Structure 1
Amino acid sequence: MRIPSRIIGGALIAALLTQMTACGTIIYPDRRGQIEGKIDPVVAVMDAIGILFWVLPGLIAFGVDFATGAIYYPGGKTAQIDPAKLKPAVDAQGNVDKLKLQAILESELGQRLPLDDPRLIQHRGSVEQLAAFGLVPAA
């Protein structure tokens, strides 16, 4: 009878410790340090389940996740590239060579962007924008 009670006790202690250390902080350590943003419902629900079973550890989990910022979705990432570095990807008619553009973006950003992805939304610039970059608009 002693062994089953020790197993149950060990499982209970492990569950309490995981709730006290906060779900979002353990699962998403890269989100730490954020100040604000949209709350991730998955992390919020896991913390709420902690409140449902163990009130104090669940509240501590919420507090730790809010304090560390792990409860928020990660912020969007942006990058800027000098337009002069993009000129080799545009030919004389104003058409963009996707392979050259992808190579330039990969060398500048250090990431490979899938420019052939069907979900990619392409926007056309105005004639004034092209002239500002010293490009000839295509007819």
Structure 2
Amino acid sequence: MKLFTIILLLASMLTSLAGCGTLLHPERKGQTGGRIDPGIVILDGIGLLFFFIPGAIAFAVDFSYGTIYLPGGRRASLNDEQLKQLSAGEQIDITVLESIIKQEAGHDITFGFQNIQITQLGSIEQLPKALIIPAH
């Protein structure tokens, strides 16, 4: 009985100190953001409820390694060189855009329309105004 108690205590401390996301999803290490996995939050919260310090450490470990985030939250933007390649003057080179998307996302894409509009915004607050389609 004493050995079982020691093993149970060590296992619970190891789980709490390592972080549930780190143990359950080691492939998620290195993510920098995205949607938070509610299952990992619940498991870390249970550790926080029963053992405050190890639970807080579990949250810290999962956030620092990025294992608390759900996969698939990638974001991308173009660098200056890609922007120069893409827009030579006023017109957008669709073939360059397709090749950049293929390179960054790994998917072939073909634009079948010519009504692409690119707007440079000074800040994120300008986005709702830029999305409003003017009446013709």
Could you tell me the TM-score, scaled by structure 1's length? Answer: 0.54
Partner of 1:108: none
Is the 2:33–2:73 contact (alpha carbons within 8 Å) kept by the matching residues of 1?
no
Residue 22 of structure 1: which of 14, 19, 25 is its match? Answer: 19
1:70-123: per-residue Cα shift (whole Å, max 9, x none)?
Answer: 00011257423275xxxxxxxxxxxxxxxxxxxxxxxxxxxxxxxxxxxxxxxx
Residue 29 of structure 2: which of 16, 28, 32 is its match? Answer: 32
Give the Cα–Cα distance (whole angstroms) in 1 for the partners of residues 29 and 52 of structure 2: 24
Is the 2:21–2:67 contact (alpha carbons within 8 Å) kept by the matching residues of 1?
yes
Cα shift at 1:6? 2.2
Instruction: Specify the code of the residue in structure 2 equivalent to 1:17.
Output: L
**Secondary structure in structure 2 of the residue aligned to 1:39:** coil
Give the Cα–Cα distance (whole angstroms) in 2 for the partners of residues 57 and 50 of structure 1: 7
Instruction: Pick the structure with greater CA Rg.
Output: 1
Task: Calculate percent identity across the aligned residue pairs.
Answer: 42
| Gapped regions of structure 2 (runs ≥ 5) | 75-104, 115-136
With over 3 angstroms needed to count, the CA separation of the structure-2 counterparts of 1:82 and 1:47, relative to structure 1, is closer
CA RMSD of superposed structures (Å): 2.0
With over 3 angstroms needed to count, the CA separation of the structure-2 counterparts of 1:31 and 1:17, relative to structure 1, is same
Which 4+ residue blocks in structure 1 deviate beyond 2 angstroms?
Answer: 76-83
Partner of 1:66: 63
Instruction: Specify the code of the residue in structure 1 equivalent to 2:106.
Output: A
Partner of 1:81: 108
